[in-house]
Structure 1
Amino acid sequence: MKELTRKRILVTGGAGFLGSHLCERLVAQGHDVLCVDNFYTGTKDNIAHLLDCANFELMRHDVTFPLYVEVDEIYNLACPASPIHYQYDPVQTTKTSVHGAINMLGLAKRVKAKIFQASTSEVYGDALVHPQTEDYWGHVNPIGPRSCYDEGKRCAETLFTDYRRQHGLSIRIARIFNTYGPRMHPADGRVVSNFMMQALQGQPITLYGDGSQTRSFCYVDDMIDAFIRLMNTRDHPAGPVNLGNPHEVTMREIAERIVAITGSTSALELRSLPIDDPWHRQPDISRARELLGWQPRTSLDDGLVATARYFRARIQASSMSLPDADANAGADFAAPLAHSPT
């Protein structure tokens, strides 16, 4: 009976933050999982514990090139997702979103697989509607420093939707809002990882503007649950689905919580805002609640405690030290480090 429900599942970007958690969950469910990653931002450390599993396979591959495998489902997560990484090589970022989508959609069409696209809340840009619903078309700068990611993901949504219209492909589009948890890249420059590393190392916590800009943070376990529910919907939705935590907090509040949770003595330090940094980001998840019966269950404090435990262990294990907080730049990210991202 188990063989009848066992699926062959491809996860692109499977060695990344979200991808590794998804692979772990799918392997635990007994599916045959093919993890594909070019290791631009992903790392083998994230999936090392899965390598000895009989139903897990790892392949180094870049999705901007075609892939020929036989699978039942595809989760397309491949793309650097933090500004510090996607702005390092913006042309390649756009190629990954657009060419990667074309290649994965072509594969799904050939093997008649269901396919899931990891889109982003960044398709809304610096939103003029708050909170953001799936019907909002967004307010995006097409030529700014964040455009390689924002517009690449918007184009991928177009491709997925047109493959559904033209070829009847079974698609899923998830607009993912800020997600955090263990296995975040410590140097990805995102809010939680930035503040955690600064707090744990006693560096100043850098806030931009006056720290009143807002974000909504979803713990990774809740997000992975939403991914799988969305893929498993029998009657797939016609459009994208927002996935995230609707509880909104200011940057100052998240910084103060992290300082308290880590027991840090770090002071808050104000900086100027970067270009095109959205002021508000909060999902309306009514569609996810209705279609998936899903909403986040992990409290912010519980999630931050688990995340702090992970970063503390990494620091202790490797005695790592990031560059000074002066490298930071924005509510979502830090300025590029002097070395290439790994």
Structure 2
Amino acid sequence: MKIFFYGSSLLSSYWNGAATYYRGLLRELAALGHEITFYEPDAFDRQQHRDMEPPDWARVVVYDATEDALRRVVAEAAQADVVVKASGVGVFDDALITGLVAAARPDAIRIFWDVDAPATLAEIQPQPGHPLRRALPALDYVLTYGGGPPVVAAYEALGARRCQPVYNALDPTTHHPVPPDPRFAADLGFLGNRLPDREARVEEFFLRAAAARPLQRFLLGGSGWEQKSRPANVALLGHVYTRDHNAFNVTPRAVLNIARDSMAATGYSPATRVFEACGAGACLITDAWTGLGQFLEEGQEVLVARDGRDVAEHLAALTPERARAIGEAARQRVLRDHTYALRAVEVDRLLRAHRAMAPALDAAR
């Protein structure tokens, strides 16, 4: 099928945490025979911070963030068998969902793909007239990269016909073990941009732990942290390009995952970072959230912390041998159960089943 996907960016992970998800999942869908076209706006300096060139498995259309360019790329949706509008494009989000629903052929599958369901739901639930909320009954599917039963129930209550999670996962061709890199030598590393609904949790789980372990070295990667007060044993890295993620993950004794407030509250929302780190064989420490056991086994494949004190205690007890054992167990688990190849099969089955049932579905509309 021809899949036209309108998202934030495939080519750049700069202020774009969904890049790994898009790349892994769409590449595997292409391997299953689908033709992928990805539309991304030239916005937020992402094209100046590309960490990937256009791949051979997708056609990438970079369009100007202007109304004329928007009308042109929306009109092209009429050529697609599957039209996908992702959340968080960042420019013209409302016009895109309205325009794409109207432009898609009557027999096309219309999908809203939410890569930040808690934030999207918080925005649209109090607004009956929100363009996305008005579009829900016309969509065939809402797919999400996290959220589980609470998100499914919330979307269906708002009028979505079908909502299904397609969780983050591992692309073993891009995230895998590599030799350690002295640049990233540390006892604990954390990689994440400075965002309002994450900052307090970074203070608790990372900076508080660093203050409690002054003789250990901590690395803070990601954009926006330059003006943040921090203990002397925390080194700043700035933006870490995806080409360095494997080395960042394997070199410290452990790496930390910290969910944003909304993701932690919703649960069932493993970040891309979870699978990137596990795929590289890192010993992962994560904050606690509902549904974690669906993805990794606590104590064997991941260490779980309820606060910064727990993180500090994990670091105090963590030997290099145990760290390697946890990292290897996690790597084997995600290779078995949580790859984008497996996720793509889920999506492929959904699309093919829908196509097979299309006459009956059209008659019911």
Do these two structures clear the TM 0.5 threshold for a shared fold by scoring above it?
no
TM-score calculated relative to the size of structure 2: 0.39
More helix by share: 2
Q: Which has the larger radius of gyration?
A: 2
Higher relative contact order (CA 8 A, sep 6+): 1
